Structure 1
């Protein structure tokens, strides 16, 4: 008698995505028909406007394709030949859209309409060409919102170097006024080349349209619009020995000192008044030059560092971690990337890279730790004393060191942060990454990196970046069947060679989807596994 095979049937179905091919002629990848001579090989497609066409082109030619329709000021998206996608993100804008085309930010100053301005920047900034009429610096957010600072005396013509305009002796004998164009605004400093003869004070008249300058609770400066929304922020102004702002270990420099800062109204005129600490300036131990009031305007920086010997956070050209003096001063950096495109996606791998231009030693020592930050933070209020919590679970430690000497020249320091990025993808708040020395008392863990604002004349900027390779989770397969009949004992009965069916679906339109099947007993013992051929999603 023929016996019917009885098994408990459990179909476990997963879908794997890969780009489906369309007619290559539509992408311009085929040779012309009926030509008597051999045509030159078609050039690879480097970009397409949407995800579908980019995925198809990448699959056909075997190389990645930029999805131009998804480009933003801080992110690029690519379709990969294997059907996955890659997000490349920076902490702050590195490109802007001008006349319908994306242009890389270039803050080199050029003359424009009788003033100096950055070639390409997110912020519309005008810097004085000298004289007593135009503001020292003006920033326009829109046709209806602007902010400007006026120097109290006529200015000499500036000396231009890269993105910096220097007005020699404009702040007094031996005191230069320096304005630096940034991607999202500007910074203005007074550089005291020599010790002043007595106390100094600087008053800058504020001109604004539909924007209000005010002191923050943390002692910094904020710029708000008519709706009360903060559109710009700056850390509490400080002054420091110029050596402190250099990449090399600043073991001999004194800690930065806060500046008495006031925003007042005198006779209907709003003034920003800066009073440097007279004792610090007169102290014989203070090394000159001294930089007064590094104030950054417009936008909140998403890469910053804090120091144990300083009351506020520090931006500028560099990010730093570890200790330059074996524990006397401790430094940590914070970075935040736009990861909105990967939320809810399957993160395959993720790497954060920073250009390591200097280290305490070519010996990496205990290395540098990257941790996921679980508390919110802003550049304008971040200090050593109020750092957000950083989660040790999923942290990664990298033991490489570059830039200390010719034996370990500057290079990318790469942090595999797949675990951290997967947490963001799964819905954990994106509060960025904390970088800290694995030992904060050993100079070998000291590192200096390029920041997003890095702009040193003669040196190519290499901003921090995050690269994430990901894919969409396929939808749960539906209409699972094995052509079986369910008996009164609730067990599916079928023949010895059952046929399994399911409808495939995938979030990435026009991709191919493979169905993985598994047959097991009711007790969970796997009897068989197999996969379907790749089919178009929805079939």
Structure 2
């Protein structure tokens, strides 16, 4: 506040600023807070930097966003985890259960692994505080593939226990401290308005953290 008064310009109060809130001291002695609905900044080397979800190839070959509130990396193809996410010294990973992944097509914050099944793409997308992943079913024949009846991701949670929450989602709880490190909403599916069992160029299924679900057509 003294700096704002002296310079006659707003000064950020870093100790009161977070990923979704910025507090500034104003020259007239007031404090001003700007609150965002989702994270817009994250700490890097002790400094706040803007959120950047655009994917880039790291030195180890994995794909990672520029700056998010969690550590995040996507597969560049082949074996190994589809997604690895870390926070507060804990790490979780998801693995595609149907063999090696193809090299993805990268577009901004999204990585598309084409034809993980015939005419079915797997798309993962970096978010400010995590990620999403969906299966894109592109033809009626692909929607009838029996492999889509159950798609269960391999899940590893380092020093965390996985629990279902009351809303139908999942949470990963630190075994030592007891706090929730990661959480996921209940999986769902998106369909066109006519409720046909496939989507041309869109999304039919959303699979999160190995959970199963069924659409109105009986396909998960």
Q: How would you bin the TM-score normalised by the shorter chain?
A: 0.7 to 0.9
Q: Equivalent residues in 2 for 1:414-433 (5 A)?
A: none
Q: For residue 204 of structure 2, give the secondary structure of its aligned residue in structure 1.
A: strand
Which residue in 2 is equivalent to 1:159? 105
Which residue in 1 is equivalent to 2:95? 150
Structure 1 distance, partners of 2:194, 2:161, is 36
Confirm or deny that 1:216 pairs with 2:158: no
Task: Tell me how many residue pairs correspond in the alignment.
Answer: 201
Contact 1:55-1:65 at 8 Å conserved across structures: no
Which residue in 2 is equivalent to 1:507? none
Q: Equivalent residues in 2 for 1:315-394 (5 A)?
A: none
Q: For residue 190 of structure 2, give the secondary structure of its aligned residue in structure 1.
A: strand
Q: For residue 53 of structure 1, give the secondary structure of its aligned residue in structure 2.
A: helix
Which residue in 1 is equivalent to 2:29? 83
Confirm or deny that 1:174 pairs with 2:124: no
Which residue in 1 is equivalent to 2:206? 293
Q: How far did residue 287 of structure 1 move?
A: 4.4
2:155 to 193, 196, 206: 206
Confirm or deny that 1:100 pairs with 2:46: yes
Inter-CA distance 91–290: structure 2 relative to 1 (3 Å threshold): closer
Q: How far did residue 68 of structure 1 move?
A: 3.9
Q: Equivalent residues in 2 for 1:54-65 (5 A)?
A: 54-58=4-8, 63-65=9-11
Inter-CA distance 90–130: structure 2 relative to 1 (3 Å threshold): same
Q: How far did residue 92 of structure 1 move?
A: 2.8
Q: For residue 115 of structure 2, give the secondary structure of its aligned residue in structure 1.
A: coil
Unaligned runs of 5+ in 1: 1-50, 244-251, 255-279, 297-539
2:66 to 109, 119, 125: 119
Structure 1 distance, partners of 2:2, 2:64, is 40
Which residue in 2 is equivalent to 1:275? none
Q: For residue 6 of structure 2, give the secondary structure of its aligned residue in structure 1.
A: helix
Structure 2 distance, partners of 1:291, 1:140, is 28
Contact 1:108-1:119 at 8 Å conserved across structures: yes
Structure 1 distance, partners of 2:158, 2:57, is 24
RMSD: 2.2
Contact 2:136-2:199 at 8 Å conserved across structures: no
Contact 1:238-1:294 at 8 Å conserved across structures: yes
Contact 2:138-2:199 at 8 Å conserved across structures: no
2:3 to 53, 56, 71: 53
Structure 1 distance, partners of 2:57, 2:51, is 17
Structure ID, larger Rg: 1
Structure 1 distance, partners of 2:19, 2:33, is 13
- TM-score of the superposed pair, with normalisation by structure 2: 0.82
Structure 2 distance, partners of 1:147, 1:232, is 9
Unaligned runs of 5+ in 2: 210-220
Contact 1:211-1:224 at 8 Å conserved across structures: yes
Structure 2 distance, partners of 1:287, 1:121, is 31
Higher relative contact order, structure no. (Cα contacts within 8 Å, ≥ 6 residues apart): 1
Which residue in 2 is equivalent to 1:137? 83
